[in-house]
Amino acid sequence: DGGITQSPKYLFRKEGQNVTLSCEQNLNHDAMYWYRQDPGQGLRLIYYSQIVNDFQKGDIAEGYSVSREKKESFPLTVTSAQKNPTAFYLCASSEMGQRPLGTEAFFGQGTRLTVV
């Protein structure tokens, strides 16, 4: 089945630890995205990537890092510099970016990160 897979579904992090969230897609999509969702805040863009070995910061990139070494993988690391990391993290992919006409995004099922 084609799709986008996030793991783990639930993740617990101690204060001061870095953690990495996995996102894999087998849709052969060029573009991949990471969003953060807090209650009542909607989705906010952390990072996005249009092509392998290239990525750009979104609106709330501070305290996060990403890599795009393979087309199908876009892992997100939540570093200890992120002061309030407890949230629901969503990864998405689309066939191409939103220019010129735009394409739909496919989302994973999310990872809920909690700091303990």
Partner 1 sequence: SQQGEEDPQALSIQEGENATMNCSYKTSINNLQWYRQNSGRGLVHLILIRSNEREKHSGRLRVTLDTSKKSSSLLITASRAADTASYFCATGSYSTLTFGKGTMLLVSP
Question: How many whole angstroms separate alpha carbon 93 and alpha carbon 96?
Answer: 8
Which of these, 18, 20, 23, 13, lies nearest to 90 by C-alpha position? 23
Count of residues in contact with partner 1, rule CB under 8 A: 34
Closer residue to partner 1, CB minimum distance, 17 or 59? 59
Pairing state of beta strands 54-57 and 64-66? unpaired
- Per CB under 8 A, 75 contacts partner 1: no
Q: Pattern 12-51, binding to partner 1, x per CB under 8 A?
A: -------------------x-x-x----xxxxxx--x-x-
Which of these, 90, 81, 78, 89, lies nearest to 19 by C-alpha position? 78
Q: Pattern 93-112, binding to partner 1, x per CB under 8 A?
A: -x--xxxxxxxxxxxxxx-x
Structure tokens at 98: 């939103």
Closer residue to partner 1, CB minimum distance, 80 or 110? 110
Closer residue to partner 1, CB minimum distance, 35 or 74? 35
Question: How many whole angstroms separate alpha carbon 21 and alpha carbon 46?
Answer: 13
Residue 33 in contact with residue 47, Cβ under 8 Å?
A: yes
Residue numbers at the binding site for partner 1 (CB under 8 A): 6, 31, 33, 35, 40-45, 48, 50, 56, 58-59, 88, 90, 92, 94, 97-110, 112
